[in-house]
Amino acid sequence: MENVLTVKRELIAKYIPQKGITTENCEKMVDIILKNYEFLPRPEAENDPSHKQIIPYVTLCRGDEVFVTRRLKKGNETRLHGLLSIGVGGHINPETDGQGEDVLYRGMKREIGEEVEIESMESLTPRGIINDDTTEVGSVHLGLFFTLEVTGEVSVLETEKLEGFWLKKAELPALSEQMETWSQFVTQALFV
């Protein structure tokens, strides 16, 4: 059974929006998570809104461009087929990512490496907290939004599930309706 990294909602409640993204207190939130995380069995965590599953959500930037993926029909989550995403990430597990103060960064690095190949990484910056308590899925997940500056090429590894391409940041707002919810929130934050 898969275990996933979570934190008790009560520890972070005052820092998260009910729906949307905040760019305030990001480093404080990461600190709270790293000092108080616990791993729960995923089936339990998916039905327990007293805990938030922590999902790193990393936007790859190259100057004024953002790497965008589109979910293809062979992907697992049918509700997301055809939608655009400007974030790479996923659950953090003790089996693959271990424990300790850098578990979040190890998990984030693994998730990035599973989805894309990056020619050269420059700097990783925490940018915000993504939350949406208005949906059943959103009520048990919390996104940690980071930007990763890259140089050179980026390519999708799971080409049967995703296609990837670069877009100018200025092009993103017009595509908002074609994006996953978290990508819509991140698009707003990129222009703050």
35-65 pLDDT, tens digit per residue, is: 999 999 999 999 999 999 999 999 999 999 9
Mean pLDDT within 87-93 = 92
Contacts of residue 52, defined as CB under 8 A and 6 or more positions apart, other chains included, come to 6, 7, 9, 12, 131, 140, 141, 142
Residue 81 has pLDDT above 80, yes or no: no
Residue 192 confidence (pLDDT): 58
CATH number for the domain including 95?
Answer: 3.90.79.10
- Four-CA torsion 101, 106, 109, 110, nearest 10 degrees: -150
Q: Into how many domains does the chain fold?
A: 1
Q: Which domain holds residue 52?
A: 3-190
* pTM given for the model: 0.90
Residue 171 has pLDDT above 80, yes or no: yes
The better pLDDT of the pair 40, 192 is held by 40
Mean pLDDT within 61-85 = 79
Categorize the per-residue pLDDT at 190 as very low, low, confident or very high, splitting at 50, 70 and 90.
confident
Mode of pairing for the β-strands spanning 51-62 and 141-156 = parallel
Tell me if 85 sits within 8 A of 55, measured CB to CB.
no
